[in-house]
Structure 1
Amino acid sequence: MRRVLVARLDSLGDVVLAGPAVRAVAAHAEAVLLTGPRGSAVAPLLPGVSEHLEWDCPWIGNPPARASEAHLGALERLIAGAGVEEAVILTSFHQSPLPLALELRRCGVARITGLSEDYPGSLLDVRVTSRDLPWELHEADRALGIAAAAGFALPADDDGLPALARTAPSAVRPPGEYVVVHPGADVPARAWPASHAAELVSLLAARGITVVVTGGPGERELTERVAGAAGTDLGGKTDVPALVDVLAGASAVVVGNTGPAHLAAAVRTPVVSLFSPVVSAQSWGPRGGPSVLLGQQDEACAGSRARECPVPGHPCLASVTPEDVLAALAGVTGLAGLAGLPTAPTGAVA
């Protein structure tokens, strides 16, 4: 089979949402996935990936790698060693595929597809624009559209939803029923207040519900604070496969607009998403399992892609109370401890 490079150089959630497009390519060719370091850990869990390459992209990473001759040369060696003859470049609406396309041309890649509003000259063989794939599309659908433009359609029996391969059982996954609270986020503007998360853990525990608090190695202070005496603190204790296993076993996951929301949805665990409008929920909401999106979507920060909240008091998420989250959990789980609570309907945006 021919070998086709699929590039998605962003973070964890972006790579998860690229999964259906990877499967579309893999239905017709060997799919070689190129990711950045922030998304690399989930790449081995995506069905259809025949080989995974990692490179820190200077025009996408934050903070960015230095675009030196040596760094670009490392990419060229990766591409040359992969033996790909074609490439599908997956980008969000605000990114350009052209810098990577130029590097791929230098490596001899014969056919390249990407979405570009800018004139691509000879850098793209198949050019997609917003006339073909409107900006309002969900990111998973945008990626599928780019792959389809390259000639890679999903098989008829593929539902087109993000999915992850089964992981080995993790030693840290608790027995029985539990709810996961993931209080951290990739950027502060997308995080629910820690005090709210800590109160939620206490409320759930008071109803007899086991709560697991997850987070990365740099979030241990946060997860310890949120877990308190009532929750189980797994901050810094899970790599991505172990985290996926913990999320897969949960009755529901409470999480902001960050990578673990997409991991949970991809394993069909219900998600209560504390969604900051700095990016569009229509484009970036969790896709896969049932979900409830909470958060004021009409604040002044909407669409700004801000990393730090520009509105005093962070009202889009601070206005969401722990009781609101309890109602959302009652709507997506059958936990006995939540019986009798008013419920928020699946798919709701408060």
Structure 2
Amino acid sequence: MKALIVAPSWIGDTIMAQPLFARLHALHPGLTLDALAPQWVAPVLQRMGDIANVIDNPFGHGALRLAERWQLGRRLAAGGYDAAYVLPNSLKSALIPAFAGIPLRVGFTGEARYGLLNRRHHLDKQALPLMVERFAQLAEAPGAALPRPVSAPQLRSTVVEQQNTLQQLGIERPQRIAAFCPGAEYGPAKRWPAEHFAELARRLAADGFAIWLFGSPKDHSIADQIEHLAPGLCRNLCGATTLAQAIDLLALAELVVCNDSGLMHVAAALNRPLVALYGSSSPGFTPPLTPRAEVLSLHLDCSPCFKRECPQGHLDCLRQLTPEQVHAACRNRLQSSAP
């Protein structure tokens, strides 16, 4: 059997789909599983043993470009795919497998995709509260019970890959690394304040940690603020690494502190000791899927609001989460994760 995954456009969502890939391989021995994915998501798929090939999906958020989707579908028709699993719920995401003439096209009904998918699942949010469960359900027959527990996502980072990344970046490995991921692509309502990260950096540096800051080029400014507020304690790697290199460096960390972000899910899939900070989003939907995570959320009356920016203008759900509380959680997590 040969199948195509139409991957999400978010790094965290793509990582949460990995248990689906593992389940498909278990159900179909000898399966060849390819993925159609945006280039910014491709590196995490390439670190999954389940995916044979990653095909570039050049269509960004909101771009229809119908003729170009048809052309890509016709090129994929030569791939001889038996099935396609469409993970996003948008109508646009289901067009290419239909244009490719793939016989079995699986996904949730989503945006009224009745003619585009021929094995449609109906989403029961109460039965499937977690995103990872919703993706995993696509491996089963519609209406069938989801086998539980769903396995945790896993990403590969070998010692050789880590050493190569350190050499490529000219970085010497410190004895103890605490990784901060201060950004969140979705919006500022998911970002713990820079001054809080800086205070936590001072506390962890006193515990003997070197502090590395990870993120995309968009996160460089908030990392600069943290560096300025905690002078001499942090190394700003935001925008200085590829995603693949960030995966290898995060794999070296003794501790990771993250907002609810794609890099949080990367750290979880690498099974790193992790403290995850939630404000506008909910750990009941997209938690870090590892037993080595400590989730902190104040559960205020106004959260989770799932907004990109705080509708109240105060961001109390994260501002009132103090560095002292997070530092205590870090120490608890380190003690729990000790050999």
Indicate the TM-score class for this superposition, using the shorter chain for normalisation.
0.7 to 0.9
Which residue is equivalent to 2:192? 192
State how far apart, in whole Å, the 2-side matches of 1:258 and 1:242 are: 17
Task: Give the match's secondary structure for 2:154.
Answer: coil
Are 1:273 and 2:281 an aligned pair? no
Task: Give the match's secondary structure for 2:36.
Answer: strand
Q: CA deviation at 1:23?
A: 1.9
Which residue is equivalent to 1:144? 136
Which residue is equivalent to 2:177? 178
Are 1:166 and 2:157 an aligned pair? yes
Task: Give the match's secondary structure for 1:243.
Answer: helix
**C-alpha deviations, 1:107-138, integer Å up to 9, x for none?**
2111111112665434322221124x637521
Map 1:1-350 to 2 at 5 A: 2-27=1-26, 28=28, 29-57=31-59, 61=61, 64-65=62-63, 67-91=64-88, 95-96=89-90, 98-116=91-109, 120-131=113-124, 134=126, 137-149=129-141, 160-167=151-158, 168-169=161-162, 170-171=165-166, 172=171, 174-186=173-185, 187-227=187-227, 228-277=231-280, 279-302=281-304, 304-334=305-335
TM-score (normalised: structure 1): 0.83
Q: CA deviation at 1:159?
A: 6.7
Which residue is equivalent to 1:345? none
State how far apart, in whole Å, the 1-side matches of 2:211 and 2:93 are: 43
Q: Pairwise CA RMSD of aligned residues?
A: 2.8
Contact kept, 8 Å, 1:255 with 1:273, in 2: the verdict is: yes
What are structure 1's unaligned runs of at least 5 residues? 336-350
Q: CA deviation at 1:317?
A: 0.7
Task: Give the match's secondary structure for 2:138.
Answer: helix
**C-alpha deviations, 1:208-243, integer Å up to 9, x for none?**
322222222232232233133112222222212221
State how far apart, in whole Å, the 2-side matches of 1:212 and 1:152 are: 45
Q: CA deviation at 1:139?
A: 1.3
Task: Give the match's secondary structure for 1:282.
Answer: coil
Question: Per the alignment, do residues 11 and 120 of structure 1 end up closer, same or farther by CA in structure 2, a change over 3 Å counting?
Answer: closer
State how far apart, in whole Å, the 2-side matches of 1:153 and 1:165 are: 30
State how far apart, in whole Å, the 1-side matches of 2:98 and 2:68 are: 17
Contact kept, 8 Å, 1:115 with 1:128, in 2: the verdict is: yes
Question: Per the alignment, do residues 117 and 100 of structure 1 end up closer, same or farther by CA in structure 2, a change over 3 Å counting?
Answer: closer
Q: CA deviation at 1:153?
A: 11
Identity of aligned residues (%): 27
What are structure 2's unaligned runs of at least 5 residues? none
Contact kept, 8 Å, 2:179 with 2:213, in 1: the verdict is: yes
Contact kept, 8 Å, 2:136 with 2:150, in 1: the verdict is: no
Contact kept, 8 Å, 1:291 with 1:332, in 2: the verdict is: yes
State how far apart, in whole Å, the 2-side matches of 1:297 and 1:210 are: 31
Q: CA deviation at 1:201?
A: 0.7
Q: Which residue type is aligned with residue 208 of structure 1? A: G
Aligned residues: 321
Show structure 1 runs of 4+ deviating over 4 A: 117-120, 150-156
Task: Give the match's secondary structure for 2:256.
Answer: strand
TM-score (normalised: structure 2): 0.85
